[in-house]
Structure 1
Amino acid sequence: MTGADVLLAILALGVTMLLARGSHPVVAVLLVVSALAVSAMLFLPTAMLGDWFGMDRVHRLYGLTRATPLDPPEWIHLFAFAWLGLLVWLARKDVRNGWGVLLVAAFGVAAELSQWLTDGREPKLEDAVLNVVGGLAGVLLAHLCCMVAARIYRDTARDEAGKD
């Protein structure tokens, strides 16, 4: 493990702890674990990830995505950042605004740019775009979930008030 790897691990842990601050403990744990898993996916050499998950699973993923315009690594970027965008939006009420959208987009770009610090990884513009699009899709999904939950809460409160 190089000094750059240690620096990236410390940065990833620090950012996730900062994001998790003030959120529900379950959501905070989900956010920290998810962000660290995405960091590992971005910074560990591809061959090592293939060894961990098994090449048969990797080949199965390629088989599943053969009919789509994206390869498995691209889908992984998209879904991983959609999950992170959703968690950030749900975890932190104070960033449920334009700054939160910018924050999620900045994380997508920063995650890709930080690959310059790792051996065997190379940042790509396409991956940064997929990270940002995935993160914003997660934010949109979380926003829709919040709207639906607020409506249900409002309707339930109105029904309860009408019974009295």
Structure 2
Amino acid sequence: MKRLGWAGLGLALAVLATAVLVPNTTLAWLRVESPLLSEGINRVEALWPAADTVHMLAFAVLGVIARLALPRTRAGWIILGVLLFSIVTELLQFYVPGRTPLVSDVRDNMLGLVAGLGFISLILWLYRHLTQRFG
């Protein structure tokens, strides 16, 4: 089970790194070729126009996966690791055609991460509480 958690975390990080380091022309092509993907992105973007909700959702999912893969690791270490990952991927966008590194993307990534960590922590707490009480 431990390997599955690490594999999931590695896959999530690889997918995120790929998504943020792909040139804009490739992203535009993907959205044209996959209307379902494009519609999904449009719906997520419309949730909260003031922030990059796609980043927030992606990093919330990363937070859930990271907590499940690293159950004994303090949340602060997970947050620090993902913050470094987020900063590095944003800085690498200086070298990706059509991409612009933004501090607001790092902010939105971290908001999503904290939301994901909070969500899964609440679910795990409820699970432990209910299984102790009724289990």
> What is the TM-score with the length of structure 1 in the denominator?
0.66
Aligned counterpart for 2:114 among listed residues 125, 133, 136: 136
1:64 and 2:58 correspond: no
Residues 77-156 of structure 1: matches in 2 within 5 Å?
77-156=55-134
- Please tell me whether the aligned partners of residues 31 and 38 of structure 2 are also in contact (alpha carbons under 8 angstroms): no
Q: Which amino acid aligns with 1:43?
A: L
Q: 1:149 to 1:110 in 2, by over 3 A?
A: farther
1:51-94: per-residue Cα shift (whole Å, max 9, x none)?
A: 124267366357536754428x9222111111111111111123
> Could you say if the C-alpha distance between residues 90 and 125 of structure 1 is closer, same or farther in structure 2, counting changes exceeding 3 Å?
same
Q: Percent sequence identity over matched residues?
A: 22
Higher relative contact order (CA 8 A, sep 6+): 2
When Rg is computed on C-alpha atoms for both structures, the one with the higher figure is 1
- Return 103-112 or 78-87, whichever deviates more: 103-112
Question: 5+ residue gaps in structure 1?
Answer: 1-22, 158-164
Classify 1:35/1:63 alpha carbon distance in 2 versus 1 (closer, same or farther; 3 Å).
closer
User: Does the 8 Å contact 1:109/1:129 carry over to 2?
Assistant: no
| CA–CA distance in structure 1, aligned partners of residues 42 and 110 of structure 2 | 26
RMSD across aligned C-alpha pairs, in angstroms?
A: 2.8
Helix, strand or coil for the counterpart of 1:70? coil
Taking the aligned partners of 2:133 and 2:118, their CA distance within structure 1 comes to: 23
- Is residue 2:24 matched to residue 1:46? yes
State how many pairs are aligned. Answer: 134
Q: 1:153 to 1:113 in 2, by over 3 A?
A: farther
TM-score, normalised to structure 2, is: 0.78
Q: Provide structure 2 residue ranges, at least 5 long, that are not aligned to the other structure.
A: none
